[in-house]
Amino acid sequence: MRFYKHFFWGVLVSVALLGCGNKKSGSEAGDSTGDSALVAISNRQFEAMQMEFGELQEAQFHESVKVNGHVISSVRGQAQVTSRIPGTIRIISRELGDFVSAGSVLCTVESNDFIVLQQDFATVSNQFNEAKKAYERLQTLYRDSIAARKDFIAAESAYNSLLAQYNGMKHRLSLLNVDPAQIEKGDFYRILEVRSPIDGYITQVNSMIGEYVTPEKMLMTIVNANQFYLQLDVYEKDIAQLAVGQNIRFYNSSNPSEKFSAKLTRTGKSIDPEKKTIVCTAQIESINSGFVNNMYVEAEVSVKEYTAKGIPGDALEALADGTYRIYLLEKKSGDNIYLKSVSVTTGLTCNNMVEIKTPLPTQQVLVKGVYNLPATE
C-alpha cells in the first residue's frame, strides 16, 4: 500500500509543479521546528534506488500575467507592389512564400505606354540639349552686348521650360528602374521590370500571366520578417501590473515548447468595449522565420522577478491534506542513513524549482528518490 500511495502522490506533485509563477495549493501549512520520527534507509537501498542529496539553491522566480495576442507586421515592413505603367504581364518570376531582396525582379510588364514614354523622353532630351546650346550661346552674346535682351530672355525661357520637362521625365523613368542615359543613346527598353521595394517574403500574389494591369492594381504583397512586433490583448484587471520594459515569453499554440522573447514597449490608453481588453505592444527580441502576419500567440508577462531559496520539485512529498514535506539528512551511522521529514511552506514554482519559504537548517536535502522511502506517519 505504501508504494501505491507514494506513486499516486508522485504523479500529483509532478502535475502541481508544471508552469512558472504558480503557487502550490495548501502550501501555508507546516512547521520545520517540530521533531519527527527518523526514516532509516540502508546505503545499499540508497544506491539501488539511485537516490541523491542536494542543497537549497538560489533560484530565479517570477509572477506573470497571462495574455493572448498576435504577431503583427509593422507598417514599415510591408509593401504592396504595383506596376507604375499600365500593361500586360508577361512573366511572373517569383511565387507565394518566396523570400526576395530589395531590387529583385518580381514580374515583367509589356506596355505600349512604356515605349511611348521613352520616345517622348528621347524627343524632350534632344530639344533640351538644343535649347541649352542656344541659351548658352545667347548668354555669351548678350553679355558682350551683341544679342538683344528679348532674344536672350526668349532663349532662357525655352531652356528653363525644357529643363523642367527633362528633369520630370528623367525622374519618372528612374522610378521605373530605367537608366535615362541608355534611352538618350537610342537603346529603348522593350519591357518594364517590376522590382521589390524591400527585403521580405511574398505573402500575397494577385496577378497572372497575360493579365492587363493598371497602376491601381495590387500585384503582390511583401512582408519583412524582421519588422514584426507583438500586439497583446490585456484584461482591464491586469493592466495595472504591467509596465514598459517588462520581459515577455510567448509561443504559438501549435508548438508550445518553442518559446520566444519580447519586451513590453507600450501600454494602451483605451479599453475595447466588447472584449474588455487594452491593446499593448511589445518588441520581439528573437525573430523567427516561422512568424507570419497575424499569427496567434499566447504569452506571459513577467510582472515580478526575484531570487529566493528553492529546491527541485522532485524533492517535495505531497501529503493527503494538501501540504508538503521534504527529507533532511540527519545522520549517517554504520550502513544506515537517517532522514528527518520536515513540513515546509512553498511559494512560486519556476522551471521545476520550488520556492521554499520555511527557514531550514543547513542540512542536505533528499532531492531524488523521495517516493521510494518507506512509509512514515
DSSP string, 58-117: EEEEEEEEEEEEEEEE-GGGEEEE--SS-EEEEEE---TT-EE-TT-EEEEEE-HHHHHH
CATH (domain of 281): 2.40.30.170
Between CA 354 and CA 325 the distance in angstroms is 12
25, pLDDT greater than 80: no
Return the SS3 of 11. Answer: helix
Q: Which residues contact 333 (CB under 8 A, 6 or more apart)?
A: none
Burial status of residue 255 (CB atoms within 10 A of its CB: 0-12, 13-18, 19 or more): exposed
pLDDT in tens, 85-130: 999 999 999 999 899 999 999 999 999 999 999 999 999 999 999 9
Asked if pLDDT for residue 327 goes beyond 70, the answer is yes
Per-residue pLDDT reduced to its tens digit, 283-323 = 998 777 678 888 999 999 988 888 888 999 889 998 888 89
Q: Could you read off the pLDDT of 155-170 as tens digits, one per residue?
A: 889 999 999 999 999 9
- Terminal-residue alpha carbon distance, the chain: 13
Based on the domain organization, do 206 and 232 belong to the same domain? no
The CATH number covering residue 207 comes to 2.40.50.100
What is the average pLDDT across 60-69?
Answer: 89
The reported pLDDT for the residue numbered 21 is 54
Please give the model's pTM, rounded to 2 decimal places. 0.58
Beta bridge partners of 194: 107
- Among 120-124, 138-142, 200-204, 297-301, where is mean pLDDT lowest? 138-142
- Give the per-residue pLDDT at 10: 42
57 occurs within a structural domain: yes
Structural domain that includes position 259: 66-76+224-304
Evaluate whether residue 377 is within a structural domain: no
Number of structural domains in the chain:
4
Residues 203 and 247 in one domain: no
Q: Which residue has the cell 508577361?
A: 90
Residues 209 and 145 in one domain: no
290 and 228 assigned to the same domain = yes
Beta strand pairing call for 212-213 and 105-110 = unpaired
Are 273 and 332 in the same domain?
no
129 and 142 share a domain?
A: yes
